[in-house]
Amino acid sequence: MRHPVCRAFFSTQYICGLRIGEARDLPPENVHAAQHRLRIIGKGDKERFVPLPDALLALLRATWCEHRNPTRVFATRPSAPIGRGGTLYDAFDAARKEAGVPHATTHVFRHSYATRLLERGVQLPIVQILMGHANLRSTMIYTHLTEPVRECLRKKIDTFAADLL
């Protein structure tokens, strides 16, 4: 991803599991650096907090310092936050094609976030909170068996079987 604001935007969307609108509309005051978290206002004006890793915090600071837009973390200049239109979609589409991915949307970052959390042993109700899902069923779509999960499961079953035999 060549454009630094787009790179920071999509990194934030992936690392924090945000919907595209949640990332696009993120105001600087919702970056709680001291607590290492982002305050997200999601669907239905529902508030949630997601962890903010140090490396991403540094990237967000650098990105914001480039434009210093008072209302948005992601902007191209002080008076121009990234809009709903083509900039983000064009950047994502170009990166997708360059990577040889036949079809994807930016929502894949959100799905990947939830899947990676579950692969690393984060409990489903915690993932539900981080994703901002009102219903656990919405979160359960991420419980598919990925290769790391399959391998971990195989080891647990091997241990269980060895104890029985």
Catalytic residue annotation: 19, 43, 107, 110, 133, 142
DSSP the chain: --SHHHHHHHHHHHHHT--HHHHHT--GGGEETTTTEEEEE-GGG-EEEEE--HHHHHHHHHHHHHH--SS-SSEEETTEE--SSHHHHHHHHHHHHHTT-SS--THHHHHHHHHHHHHTT--HHHHHHHHT-SSHHHHHTT-S--HHHHHHHHHHHHHHHHHH-
What CA–CA distances, in Å, run from 160 to 119, 150, 154?
20, 15, 10
Q: Which of 85, 81, 87 is nearest to 69 (CA)?
A: 81
- Residue 161: Cβ-neighbour burial (10 angstroms; 0-12, 13-18, 19+): exposed
